Chains A and B, each alone.
Chain A
């Protein structure tokens, strides 16, 4: 195996990486031909619809299909008994059946599927199913679920995981503190809500293999589960990612497994191509949500603003099945103090089962909740200390040489750089004065400005399995084809990989293409989660490209009569650095290499270093590197209506070496708005476990009118330790801070204390009334 060396970011000039690459044809690609799952589905289709539980927690006494079966067009009705393989659709833990067997544990859980000739027939038949339930006692409040006499959601303790941090001596820290501040924060279930709902289309190939096209983030995860559900040997199934209309976490979790399995079971049963797609309300009921957290933060500080002790208790409601709840809790606990050095920390996090909707992967993965609680806590302390929040933070931020709550040493100055830049760009000190003046002169429209900071451990870290595989093949026309099971769903991650391949091979960006992720063509590439495509996938791409470059170098050195080490690959040409007139085009070189039977296909593999920490104390280094960020929010509060207008957001991120600047900017803008929605609008309303607002007219996501007038995004570059060319993660991160920055701005403008999101007008108004 040829070995490769990653070059240091700062020392190299790049031709493609870091340049503004427009995804040419991106719009036409979407408009020009069918590309999303349901668009592709053709032929003599059958439609699959799940029959869902109307109960929150109940025993299934009987399932009577007789009325439904009689409906014209109904081809089959399948229950858990008809699953040929294993009835398991849990993504990591096998705790969730594809179709409920004896018990349903949450509202909307699937009990059967109907296969019919038309969508309408499938829907009608689903309504004609007679299922008898006997209700069981249910628990929908995580605090109640932890009580000893609580009803059990599964045949196990409702407490799924208890995570601990023990650093220093927190009690001594409190006793040495001049001030101890304690607050309880609450966040809600929200829906990632990709605009395309979950969809899968399956069909029989002539060989007898089933092919399944699906809207998803992780083809290999879905493949691995569906193969088992079907009871197939591996070669009898192939999973292909269609163009995917948004991911945001839910499409990396369990619902893509559901739709893929529904469609494949229908194809297996009928021999016909099948389409399974969630309706919007179904998606909003079933899709995994962001975990609601109850977070108690108790913090001790000295009068001059040094953090001495931090104690957190975090309770995460993961709903009826664990999904990724235990991992979300891990990330939450590992970031619960915010990006500050605190000598004494004690944290206890609990991931709890309830009979609520399932919470799982959602963009940010536990980080938005804890950063909201930590960053609002920081402002509440600053207020008590009568200190400017910027001054207070500056005394405590993670700088090189400081240590996190897990006692991990921070090596790079990214946070300080972001912090300074955000303060300068937002004109913080001047605005504070200006708004203070303004607010004295007005009683209705108050202006505020608030700040929040973050750190975000990169890629999977403690969630493990942090690897990527990328294949590259050079085609006879001298272009490169990059293939991987990593995916893009609007994130621009694949563009970054193509840029890395183009950079290494010295090709113009246009000469590097990508194929659709297909488990039949590539090897397991690891999941597309945790903002890891550029950082980890970039390393695998680099390796694959280097292998080919090295092979081509041997041919070129002979042909140009120069040393391999003197060769430069650039802009579609290969030449000797010593004698630049000795050159050959990349294309001619490929032809020559092919004549000599040089293998022009490669597989690049990268596995991130394993991270280590102690289970009992949480001490160690859970992540290989950290992304840092700062966001300043300018808001206006209408104190008569409680309505918030976010005028400007100033997000500054340290994404290390920026590979794809346009992609990064796009992700920042989109994430900023999603984070604003999280802060001031979005909430899945439940009543005893039943979702009351599974639609877009009562669950509000930001529209074009809700956007801040200005999003002044920028970056600083402080190289990461493992990412390709020093890159750090960014995909999920812009969602994290807006809620906290907006909350802090509102509090400062009005004097209200905010400890819960979303900050909807009714809540703001009630809080203002309280202050008065």
Chain B
């Protein structure tokens, strides 16, 4: 899933200072699950904006609404009336949702209300970890299903660096060393010799390094 974190309320309030009719737009997918931008958070954010403006003596009209999936045009279309009534939209969807809104409603400004952080998963209640960078050329089959690109702070391909200690990454004691996990899992399956091969430098052109990516599939085009 895509994981995000709501921006500090003060930052959101400041960003909508000049507007009178504000719509806070949640998304029903990933950000609902990671409790950053679902219906509950949209309502809370709208309330916070409204209270703060009232206190400042500049009351505004703030509504909140949640769209099932902000990253597809069809879903956005269903709420056209509500969206067009507003002066500005604060989207609590990930960066993709915010941009889908701006593409679809060209005459309206949609501002981001969350910081999109990473692709990952919740490992326990309230704890999410990053585990894929969308590099465009997956190597998980070589690393026992643990991503060396996302889970190693240096995206190394040939084994752990010299900073790995007690299973932790040198970057922080809170961060697991991805390579420690890979080596342990290789040992568990008696496959450590798989690491002997000197892997060539990664071809980063399939990642964002190659420029913004686009995928075209003729077989599914209409």
Asked if A and B bind, the verdict is no
B residues near A (Cβ < 8 Å) are none
